[in-house]
Structure 1
């Protein structure tokens, strides 16, 4: 009996959050957490941070024609030099261009998805990158550092809890510092005492993410804290504290 070939898994875009607009003006691709090494099929997109952010972005950006799609990876793992999650993020951006044409894209990732967003940020359609508690590799003298040149010309926001037990916040600070040397539109906020899931200040993190995304995709004014973080030289603009009660720029 002939042996059947194992079906090849493919990445795909999940259903957009909320009702799709009649005219699409911009797209956010939501990249969920993953694993450092794994060939297993990804779990359903159940990350609370991804769900909350998708709903908030869809509602806040409705008038601008914003669409928010979760990305379903082929496999769960980054898997070393294969960088499979970043490959899937790049594929998803190509798919956005195929579906919607020349619209600005924000890559928004959580955990390992944050690393994928940063790595795939050089795609020509990407206008901005949002990385929440990004997982980044430890510094290794024998390996090249995590690249940052692809972020030139993009607006970049990194958000990290100071008590993150899974993704070292100091590593995201170092990456932001290297990226800032080549690209002045990089900022980073620290969420005091929060951990990897950014649950303690969930509403503030979502408000900051919405403020940044709408500002970067649709050329709105950022809230004053984001403006200050982008304008401040390192390390001030890369260790900006996220204030309790932050609600963004007050857009409707």
Structure 2
């Protein structure tokens, strides 16, 4: 796959808002990204947000990266995320965008928090490294992390959230897969998206 792919629902043009979902991956891999577990983990969130915002002319997009890995300085999924934001601006000019990412996708979402039209970022169990750059101000940011996560670091998420002034939600007993408390996670994501877009509407 030489270009990223979007699975889109909602208005094809001139939506009032776009919600872009970003799946996880691996630290290093140039293998093509497939609809594996990391990708499928985002599908219930996509469906829940689409149902919650039904009738509000909101487009929901699930991005599939070109390759599975972050790949060091190449930052391949960030490149793909910027491509998706360009598509959002092209198809839905002026529409506010909310990003929802899990694991590597959470890191991508935080890297894109300062991009034009991004009004909200919800990072779930993000993979964060020491020295992670701070996003430019403007977007509302929520980071949530399971306390029992052994894949990515809840402590790193808490420190990063404090450093950038983001909201942080620790989730006792939850692991990286976010499967022990599915209703909680669904409500967290749908509530954040609705709030971020509602705040944007009120500001207008």
Q: Contact 1:89–1:116 (CA<8 Å) still a contact in 2?
A: yes
> Is the counterpart of residue 27 in structure 1 residue 12 in structure 2?
no
Tell me how large the CA RMSD over aligned residues is: 1.9
The answer to whether the aligner puts 1:203 opposite 2:183 as a matched pair is: yes
User: Once the 2 structures are TM-superposed, how far is the Cα of residue 220 of structure 1 from its aligned partner?
Assistant: 7.9
- 1:15-66 per-residue CA deviation (whole Å, 9 max, x = no partner) reads 32xx548862111111011111100000116444311100010011113212
- More relative contact order, 1 or 2 (CA 8 Å, 6+ apart): 2
Runs of 5+ unmatched residues, structure 2: none
The match for 1:217 among 189, 197, 203 is 197
Which residues of structure 1 form unaligned runs of 5+?
1-7, 140-144, 181-185, 222-252
Work out the CA distance in 2 between the residues paired with 1:36 and 1:169: 18
> Which residue of structure 1 lines up, in the alignment, with residue 93 of structure 2?
101
Structure 2 residue 154 is matched with structure 1 residue 163: no
Deviations 1:61-98, CA, capped at 9 Å, x for gaps:
11321211100111111011111111111110110110
Taking structure 2 as the reference length, the TM-score comes to 0.92
Equivalent in the alignment of 1:148? 134
Greater fraction strand = 2
Residues 1:64 and 2:56 aligned together: yes
Correspondent of 2:29 among 11, 32, 38: 38
TM-score after normalising by structure 1: 0.75
1:194 is matched with which residue? Answer: 174
Shift of 1:149: 3.4
Q: Which residue of 2 aligns with 1:9?
A: 2
**CA–CA distance in 1 between the matches of 2:89 and 2:36?**
23
Provide the residue aligned with 1:79 in structure 2.
71
Q: Deviations over 1:152-205 (max 9, x none)?
A: 11100111000001001111111111111xxxxx20111101100111111111
Partner of 1:240: none
Counterpart CA distance in 2 for 1:102 and 1:115 is: 24
| Preserved contact between residue 21 and residue 63 of structure 2 (Cα < 8 Å) | yes
Whether the aligned pair in 1 keeps the contact of 2:149 and 2:174 (CA below 8 Å) is yes
Larger Rg: 1
How far 1:219 sits from its partner (Å)? 2.0
Q: What secondary structure, in the 3-state scheme, does the structure 2 residue paired with 1:122 have?
A: coil
Contact 1:128-1:156 within 8 A present in 2 as well? yes
Provide the residue aligned with 1:134 in structure 2.
Answer: 126
1:106/1:127 contact within 8 Å kept: yes
